[in-house]
């Protein structure tokens, strides 16, 4: 009779041991602390609004449309590749006619969580960014919005698509509606990850090292700027609080950041805090793409922002935690079959 009792006790001990491995020490305390700094990504339900659905579908089509650029080769997706988690892997994005953009192209995934768009915050929203990109010298390169829209109007099927997405508009193919439609699609590009499962209450969702990295990320002060649902993207901060950033990154050409937008010296070297969602797959890093290694980028942030020389162990643990912020590429992030050009007579 003792054998079954011994077997049950052994199974119980193994279960307890497995649970202890699944839940890192102080997991509940870590979860409580994490909830004070971060929020999980909430993916809205599609709903039954036919107009919204039409705008999202039109926006997806426009996002991958290259015929609106001056050289016919550049679309929004040109700098936001699915295999790069919607970044492009370049220090600075390359746009129309091979022109180099002044700054690195961040991922468009989860950009809807940012309080402003662009590194300097000179675009108020996704819609504003999409509309103005049509005129960007190194983006689409159009001289004016009318030129950009004339290219869409030359594709017959867009007339019906815009009319469906913007019913009641007498002339729906306009740059404002372009921005609204592209923004509607981009707002669907959310990538929740295992970190969101953790924030939702699953204390075992993170591995032991991921949890250790999160603990250090919070305790060192990283979460004071990289917070919220986007793990960043909520504020402007000076790049180089403790030491000049260029001394650590090694760049020679300095970027004044937001000061070039506001013309206020108080904003010198201020940039939007980057969202760290998918950061493990969106190298190179910083506004100028000057660092291509995530461990090095973490150590530079420790030095420039916190005045701390992070140990190899601390940096490694933080990098492992940052890997837990990678989510799957949204199913809708692919190019639809292009509308055919107008038939030539």
pLDDT computed for residue 101 by the predictor: 97
Is the separation of the CB atoms in 217 and 195 below 8 Å? Answer: no
**Quick one: pLDDT at residue 24?**
53
- Res 126: pLDDT: 98
Residue with tokens 């290259």: 66
Q: What pLDDT score was predicted for residue 25? A: 52
> What pLDDT sits at residue 27?
83
pLDDT of 26 = 86
Tell me, what's the pLDDT at 344? 52
b/e per residue 205-227 (b: at least 16 CB within 10 A):
bbbebbbbbbbbbbebebbebbb
273 within 8 A of 234, measured Cβ to Cβ? yes
Residues of the chain predicted below pLDDT 70: 1-25, 344-345
Q: Where are the beta strands (DSSP E) in the chain?
A: 236-238, 270-272
Say what the pLDDT of residue 46 is.
Answer: 79
């Amino acid at each position: 009779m003792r054998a079954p009792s011994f077997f049950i006790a052994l199974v119980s001990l193994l279960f307890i041991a497995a649970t202890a491995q699944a839940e890192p020490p102080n997991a509940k305390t870590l979860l409580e602390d994490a909830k004070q700094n971060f929020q999980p990504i909430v993916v809205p339900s599609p709903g039954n609004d036919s107009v919204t659905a039409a705008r999202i579908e039109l926006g997806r089509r426009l996002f991958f449309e290259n015929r609106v650029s001056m050289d016919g080769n550049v679309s929004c997706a040109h700098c936001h590749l699915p295999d790069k988690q919607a970044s492009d892997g370049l220090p600075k994005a390359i746009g129309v006619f091979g022109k180099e953009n002044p700054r690195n192209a961040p991922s468009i995934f989860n950009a809807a969580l940012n309080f402003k768009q662009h590194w300097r915050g000179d675009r108020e929203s996704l819609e504003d960014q999409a509309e103005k990109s049509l005129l960007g010298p190194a983006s689409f390169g159009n001289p004016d919005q009318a030129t950009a829209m004339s290219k869409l109007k030359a594709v017959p099927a867009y007339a019906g698509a815009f009319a469906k997405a913007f019913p009641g508009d007498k002339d729906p193919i306009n740059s404002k509606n372009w921005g609204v439609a592209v923004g509607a699609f981009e707002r669907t590009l959310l990538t929740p990850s295992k970190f969101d499962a953790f924030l939702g209450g699953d204390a075992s969702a993170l591995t032991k090292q991921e949890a250790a990295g999160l603990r250090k990320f919070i305790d060192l002060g990283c979460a004071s700027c990289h917070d919220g649902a986007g793990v960043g993207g909520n504020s402007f901060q000076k790049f180089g609080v403790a030491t000049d950033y260029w001394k650590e990154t090694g760049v020679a050409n300095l970027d004044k950041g937001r000061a070039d937008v506001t013309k206020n010296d108080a904003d010198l070297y201020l940039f939007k805090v980057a969202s760290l969602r998918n950061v493990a797959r969106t190298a190179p890093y910083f506004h100028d793409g000057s660092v291509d290694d995530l461990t090095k980028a973490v150590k530079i942030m420790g030095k420039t922002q916190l005045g701390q020389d992070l140990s190899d162990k601390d940096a490694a643990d933080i990098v492992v935690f940052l890997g837990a912020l990678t989510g799957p590429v949204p199913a809708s992030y692919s190019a639809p079959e292009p509308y055919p050009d107008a038939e030539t007579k």
